[in-house]
Structure 1
């Protein structure tokens, strides 16, 4: 995955052609501004600068391929053709090669959304294979509590993603015991039956209106803590807050638990770039990981947009640090802000680290990112002002308020 280095070095000719092709996609694919408006705002000028230079440089066959990319920025064949023709053209003009390399190197330092196209990617549906049933996570209390907040009122793609996430969590090797809690927050329990045998604990947290991820996570941690107290068993040492659309590899639990045990830090995010897969890549990744029994999914078969250092998706932390900061700020509702807030408070409470794993984000419809009048959902909240004194994880919080 492309990661902007602290001190960039000039790319090779083939790599330069690849990056120029990526910038053509980033500047013209409508999925780019749609995936993260704030990241797009930080990056757009850099996309436009490189793309404008590319438009001037591309001539002959390269120009025809460039126009094909602009006509359909999702078509892999057009991108491969552009890359091939740009490589030939760059070899013919060393001065323009130097100028374009400098432009790309500078832009790479600043962009927050990047592009990945694997060499073996295809938009064709993956071949069907017999579905192998997932296995239930190991019994017992375990060292790790995985908490997944969830809502799917459409009963479709998001539920598919959750089931893929859970099957991948059931297929783990080499780690300590882990237990999986799904917290569904809605006006009725829609997915309880579909999760039978795939979770250790299902919690229905009744709440209508805007989705409140922060409250759902807190409920998941606190309900499991209360259960452990009733059974007089030890509390989990570590918490993994995992979005329902993340597909993990087979050693996910073992690798990240070892990091917390040995690293001397309180929180970590195991990735620097989150790869948001397109629809064909999502189906292929689920097929390989769940149905094909692969330990992980090779990036070479995937296509998607890379988000640089997003605050959420997957957060690992010590349970004591979670309680020290009072969990997530439950005032956040709708899209945006709760992950930035909790990561900032966790970093202030104990050392926070990032690692370089690949995080696979499965495709699904984008939620509304602003209110109907265009205002951000949570602009009124003072970031970092939540503390453990607010009280957190009350399962009856919203039902009590309604009565």
Structure 2
């Protein structure tokens, strides 16, 4: 039997790029901070490649490597290291082959990766330093025509007690959703769950439906989603329509709605996540992406101008599904409060109820302050909940669950 050919080895420049990424991944404090569980599964692989790289570099490459370690967010240092490594690898092909094997092995196991676009600059165009009092001040479009019943209900759970970057991100998300071409009609519902309706005025004229569901204490994304989906689909016939559960920090391209609706309509599945990797942008990339997509009218944002951390197959952020499948599983598990777990749970239950798929779209996650990811004792917020045990048989999406009062709702735009 003939020996199968070896897989092609990466070019010196591509290998240098990956080695530079591993230097950043091993030393940038933002990496463990973005997802502690993903870091735990990946750290040993970062350390292995980084140790091999440290043993290999010399001369100009050694000096560049040490600058990256001292300042792992400085893009110019990374470009210098990549160039120096490309030259050094060309001079020393034998250790280069060993490094390529180490990178290939690590790439199979890591859950956080790194992206640095060739045209990235930290000097992003400035945005207004404060969130405007009304959405109209951002140039956000107003009411859109609504011919007939929409095929898609986009539901966005939300809370921003600081009145800053999260609200900025939500407005950018809504503007991108208003700028959609082709395909079916869609309707956007924002559910704000807080002790008071902080963003009601800022969203006037931008969303089709604003729902305020009163709840103090920890943010309950699961309940907020359920409130929004139940409200958005209450007048639909059983089995009709599609739902997109979207985080407020996701910036979508112009064909987002049409592309994903067609997938659900034609794919024979019940749920899909349209991305394999989610790119969490740094602050300059976030401003550049918002500027290109919202202010300059770009249909999408080229990855060449972005920098950020890539999360492998996260369970949430953007989930598309048939409305009947959502209701068949009783929606999200409303016992989850604080950060973490609710997306893993609902995706597992949705996948058990009907086929679930992933696609390879880019998913851009805008920068914002990281929430607390554990309780004061260091334990995960929702470690006590049994995954997949929710049925919704006792009701879900009840706006008065935490207060016993009626949730407030703004009139839909265009009505």
Q: For the superposition of Structure 1 and Structure 2, which TM-score range results when normalised by the shorter chain?
A: over 0.9
- Are the counterparts in 2 of residues 117 and 304 from structure 1 also a CA contact under 8 Å? yes
Distance 2:239 2:167 in 1: 29
- Which of residues 225, 235, 245 in structure 1 aligns to 2:233? 225
- Are the counterparts in 2 of residues 137 and 179 from structure 1 also a CA contact under 8 Å? no
In structure 2, the partner of 1:214 is 222
Structure 1: segments with no counterpart, 5+ residues: 1-6
1:79-113 deviations in whole A, cap 9, x for unaligned? 00000000000001111010000000000000000
Moved over 2 A (4+): 7-10, 127-138, 233-236
Write the mapping of 1:169-318 to structure 2, written as runs, cut at 5 A: 169-226=177-234, 228=235, 237-318=241-322
In structure 2, the partner of 1:94 is 93
Matched, 1:327 2:331: yes
Structure 2: segments with no counterpart, 5+ residues: 1-5, 129-136, 406-415
Normalising to structure 1: TM-score of the pair? 0.94
**SS in structure 1 opposite 2:19?**
helix
In structure 1, the partner of 2:21 is 22
Range moving further from structure 2, 277-286 or 118-127: 118-127
In structure 2, the partner of 1:379 is 383
Distance 1:148 1:218 in 2: 10
Matched, 1:336 2:367: no
**TM-aligned CA deviation for residue 236 of structure 1:** 5.2
Distance 1:248 1:183 in 2: 19
Distance change >3 Å, CA 182–CA 111, structure 1 → 2: same
- Are the counterparts in 1 of residues 140 and 206 from structure 2 also a CA contact under 8 Å? no
In structure 2, the partner of 1:118 is 117
**SS in structure 1 opposite 2:402?**
helix
In structure 1, the partner of 2:409 is none
**TM-aligned CA deviation for residue 373 of structure 1:** 1.1
1:124-179 deviations in whole A, cap 9, x for unaligned? 03277996442434414300000000000000000000000000000000020100
1:194-216 deviations in whole A, cap 9, x for unaligned? 00111000000000000000000
In structure 2, the partner of 1:3 is none
**TM-aligned CA deviation for residue 29 of structure 1:** 0.2
In structure 2, the partner of 1:109 is 108
In structure 1, the partner of 2:362 is 358
Distance 2:355 2:280 in 1: 27
Normalising to structure 2: TM-score of the pair? 0.92
Distance 1:99 1:294 in 2: 42
- Are the counterparts in 2 of residues 116 and 306 from structure 1 also a CA contact under 8 Å? yes
- Are the counterparts in 2 of residues 22 and 115 from structure 1 also a CA contact under 8 Å? yes
Which structure shows the higher helix fraction?
1
